[in-house]
Structure 1
Amino acid sequence: MNESLLRELVPAVIGVLVRRGADFASAEDAVQEALIRALAAWPDDPPRDPKAWLVAAAWRKFIDAARAETSRRGREVAVDAEPPAGPVPGQDETLQLYFLCAHPSLPPASAVALTLRAVGGLTTRQIAQAYLVPEATMAQRISRAKRTVSAVRFDQPGDVGTVLRVLYLVFNEGYSGDVDLAAEAIRLTRQLAAAIDHPEVGGLLALMLLHHARRAARTAPDGSLVPLAAQDRSRWDTELVAEGVTILQTALARDQLGEYQAQAAIAALHADAPSADETDWVQIVEWYDELLAITDSPVVRLNRAVAVGEADGPHAALQALTDLSPDLPRYTAVQAYLHERAGNLSEAADLYTTAAHTATTIQERDHLTREAARVRQLLRS
């Protein structure tokens, strides 16, 4: 049984049912029922055309459910038991399903959950474990999302930017539970790239690959964080780096720069440097300037300040921080690092301690606590 194939077929099959007139919620339920049948039947009797088999099985489930509901209401249903004749459509339905799951009417958390369920083919339990919430909570979130998009016309044009933001959110969740969300986001983005010719889709895929290439070096054997400058670059996945750079170059050649392409260009410069000391920080600052022209994001300005500190020195970076809100995530940690670079060790130690108290993850808290202790040790020596 090829479960990965089943997951890849899910969005296309849901899309076919919706095209044939099923509402989204009913289509998704019918496909899940068909998947259960497939898991039981396919090991002994694999179909010649898995997609057509799933479409037929899901359509019958939908018809049965529709007739049962109509019978309950005492009315007739005007729908055929057999699926319409003709070939099963291809990737267009998958693309439309991406747009539907990332509909602007959904809050980001719901859009992510619905995308993982309907497009990714993950179970509610898997999604709940990945987000460390009770399964019942995730089930309610997905149910509300399905109800919200059920009224959306499937032929309405979708917003690529919204889809990409949802996939980016999935990727940034990384790994937890038995589902590797970073790998899942890459799989879904590859699928999207095969269905749509858009430079920002390539930019996002390149960005994911370049970041994922460094994954093995990001943590020490004890699970502690390893900053970029201290990572063992021999542990970076050179094949993923090469693929990411190639995809990025193809996207940039179209001269339609977007935020994901700019972020990927920054990641590529980090990946290209043999060591932290050989990083082209001047060019990274230039790419942050391009990114700011697109997004004008305070988070981008904070990251740019770090790059300025490497290119022009910590005092220039501290000056750049004065225009930013101290409430920004990682602001105090960046401030601590720059003060240490500037030789203000006492202030840096206090700032590292403050940053540790506001850290959003245990790994980050422990890392900042160790940094504070290290700097205090320097003060005593």
Structure 2
Amino acid sequence: MDEPLLRSLTPGVLGVLVRRGADFAAAEDAVQDALVEAFRVWPADGVPRDPKGWLVTVAWRKFLDATRADTARRRREDRVDVEPPPGPAPAADDTLQLYFLCAHPSLTASSAVALTLRAVGGLTTRQIAQAYLVPEATMAQRISRAKRTVSGVRFDRPGDVATVLRVLYLVFNEGYSGDVDLAAEAIRLTRQLAAAIDHPEVAGLLALMLLHHARRAARTAPDGSLVPLAEQDRTLWDTTAIAEGVEILQTALARDRLGEFQAQAAIAALHADALAAEETDWVQIVEWYDELAGLTDNPVVRLNRAVAVGEADGPRAGLAALSSVDPAVPRHAAVAAYLHECDGDLATAARLYAQAAREAPNLPERDHLTRQAARLNTRLNTRRPR
């Protein structure tokens, strides 16, 4: 059974049903029934000549059967009970509208992500639950609520590309857990979106994902501990992914419609271009952070800019830039600790590393920051007279 083929066809089939008048929840149920039927029939009969058309036909019949069985929806049945003539599936691609529907502003971020993975990504509820480390019943309820929320949304309005991109970036940043590689899944979905819409920010996000994902193998040591960017073995970086990301980025930047994902990708490209950490062009990176700060009032951008300023102009300049960032911003203490260490104030740096470890959002990061604090405390203890 060609599972990747079925997953790639799922959003198109779902989009056809919704465009024909099925509400989202009923359409999604019908498509899932059609996929089950494909798993049952295709191994014996072979993949149909027009697999999408086969799935559309079966899903539509499943939808009509469910509608007829529900007497309370008789009026609706009268409107939709018209069997389309057999033949190839429509050439129109509804995938883009489906992205917009799943990223509807009425949904919470977590619900939008879950619905996108289910409806556009074709993942099962179990797979999504495992990826987010929550019980399957919990994820099923989240997806069910999301489907009900968007069921009354008309499918004929232009969607917000920026919202779709934020949802995909949330998926990407979840990385890997369970048996689903969400970073790879996000790249696949963003490629699909890029094929459906010609937009420089879509290209910018795809480039950013590829450039970050290229460093994945070097981010952790064999024992699972985090490896900071400056200490990573750059021979482990995926040069093919880097080359593709840079090429996509350059094409997007040439259109002169700069957006925040393109700016982030430009920063990632400068890191990827350095053969060693000391060769990093921090001056250019600061310039790109200035561009990015002009596009978004995100305090995390200003936090990261402070690091870049510290590398380009010295730690005291970095600390001065950091002074304008709210200390409540996540990882503020970690950045302050690094800059104080670079400035030679080991006692303050050790204290801040320990604080950052207590505030860390995950175990690997907490362990890394704890080791940094311990390393500096050991150095301080060896300096003290006995």
Q: Name the aligned partner's letter for residue 154 of structure 1.
A: F
Q: CA deviation at 1:324?
A: 1.1
Look up the SS of the partner of 1:22 in the other structure: coil
Look up the SS of the partner of 2:224 in the other structure: coil
Q: List structure 1 runs of 4+ shifted beyond 4 angstroms.
A: 72-76, 84-87
Provide the C-alpha distance between the structure 2 equivalents of 1:274 and 1:322, rounded to a whole number of angstroms: 32
Residue 308 (structure 1) aligns with: 309
Q: What's the CA shift string for 1:224-251, capped at 9, x where partnerless?
A: 0000000000000000000000000000
Partners of 1:12 and 1:90 within 8 A in 2: no
Provide the C-alpha distance between the structure 1 equivalents of 2:118 and 2:104, rounded to a whole number of angstroms: 15
Residue 351 (structure 1) aligns with: 352
Partners of 1:265 and 1:287 within 8 A in 2: yes
Unmatched 5+ residue regions in structure 2?
none
Residue 193 (structure 1) aligns with: 194
Partners of 2:115 and 2:146 within 8 A in 1: yes
Residue 369 (structure 1) aligns with: 370
Provide the C-alpha distance between the structure 2 equivalents of 1:210 and 1:303, rounded to a whole number of angstroms: 17
Residue 55 (structure 1) aligns with: 56
Residue 150 (structure 1) aligns with: 151
Q: What's the CA shift string for 1:184-228, capped at 9, x where partnerless?
A: 000000000000000000000000000000000000000000000
Partners of 1:60 and 1:81 within 8 A in 2: no
Look up the SS of the partner of 1:62 in the other structure: helix
Q: CA deviation at 1:103?
A: 0.6
Change (3 A) 1:73 1:169: closer
Partners of 2:50 and 2:88 within 8 A in 1: no
Change (3 A) 1:149 1:84: farther
Q: CA deviation at 1:348?
A: 0.6
Q: Name the aligned partner's letter for residue 117 of structure 1.
A: R
Change (3 A) 1:86 1:158: farther
Provide the C-alpha distance between the structure 2 equivalents of 1:155 and 1:77, rounded to a whole number of angstroms: 21
Percent of paired sites with the same residue: 77
Residue 333 (structure 2) aligns with: 332
Residue 18 (structure 1) aligns with: 18
Look up the SS of the partner of 2:69 in the other structure: helix
Provide the C-alpha distance between the structure 2 equivalents of 1:73 and 1:110, rounded to a whole number of angstroms: 27
Provide the C-alpha distance between the structure 2 equivalents of 1:30 and 1:11, rounded to a whole number of angstroms: 12
Instruction: Map 1:58-137; keep pairs closer than 5 Å.
Output: 58-70=59-71, 77-78=77-78, 79-80=80-81, 82-84=83-85, 87-90=88-91, 92-137=93-138
1:32 aligns with 2:43: no
Partners of 1:106 and 1:145 within 8 A in 2: yes
Provide the C-alpha distance between the structure 1 equivalents of 2:90 and 2:292, rounded to a whole number of angstroms: 38
Provide the C-alpha distance between the structure 1 equivalents of 2:57 and 2:244, rounded to a whole number of angstroms: 38
Q: CA deviation at 1:91?
A: 5.4
Q: CA deviation at 1:337?
A: 0.5
Provide the C-alpha distance between the structure 2 equivalents of 1:62 and 1:163, rounded to a whole number of angstroms: 27
1:234 aligns with 2:235: yes
Partners of 2:67 and 2:73 within 8 A in 1: no
Provide the C-alpha distance between the structure 2 equivalents of 1:73 and 1:227, rounded to a whole number of angstroms: 58
Provide the C-alpha distance between the structure 1 equivalents of 2:90 and 2:231, rounded to a whole number of angstroms: 50
Change (3 A) 1:24 1:75: closer
Q: Name the aligned partner's letter for residue 198 of structure 2.
A: D
Change (3 A) 1:74 1:253: closer
1:173 aligns with 2:174: yes
Q: Name the aligned partner's letter for residue 97 of structure 1.
A: L
Q: Name the aligned partner's letter for residue 109 of structure 1.
A: S
Q: What's the CA shift string for 1:320-375, capped at 9, x where partnerless?
A: 11111111000000000011000000111111011101111000000000101111
Q: CA deviation at 1:89?
A: 2.6
Partners of 2:14 and 2:31 within 8 A in 1: yes
Task: Give the TM-score, by structure 1 length.
Answer: 0.98
Unmatched 5+ residue regions in structure 1?
none
Provide the C-alpha distance between the structure 2 equivalents of 1:334 and 1:75, rounded to a whole number of angstroms: 62
Residue 258 (structure 2) aligns with: 257
Provide the C-alpha distance between the structure 2 equivalents of 1:212 and 1:31, rounded to a whole number of angstroms: 32
Q: What's the CA shift string for 1:241-284, capped at 9, x where partnerless?
A: 00000000000000000000000000000000000000000000
**Root-mean-square deviation (Å):** 1.3
Task: Give the TM-score, by structure 2 length.
Answer: 0.96
Q: CA deviation at 1:86?
A: 6.0
Partners of 2:68 and 2:74 within 8 A in 1: no
Change (3 A) 1:91 1:81: closer
Look up the SS of the partner of 1:165 in the other structure: helix
Instruction: Map 1:1-16; keep pairs closer than 5 Å.
Output: 1-16=1-16
Look up the SS of the partner of 2:361 in the other structure: coil
Q: CA deviation at 1:81?
A: 5.8
Q: What's the CA shift string for 1:29-54, capped at 9, x where partnerless?
A: 00001111111111111211110111
Partners of 1:167 and 1:185 within 8 A in 2: yes
Look up the SS of the partner of 1:77 in the other structure: helix
Number of equivalenced pairs: 380
Change (3 A) 1:25 1:84: farther
Q: Name the aligned partner's letter for residue 297 of structure 1.
A: N
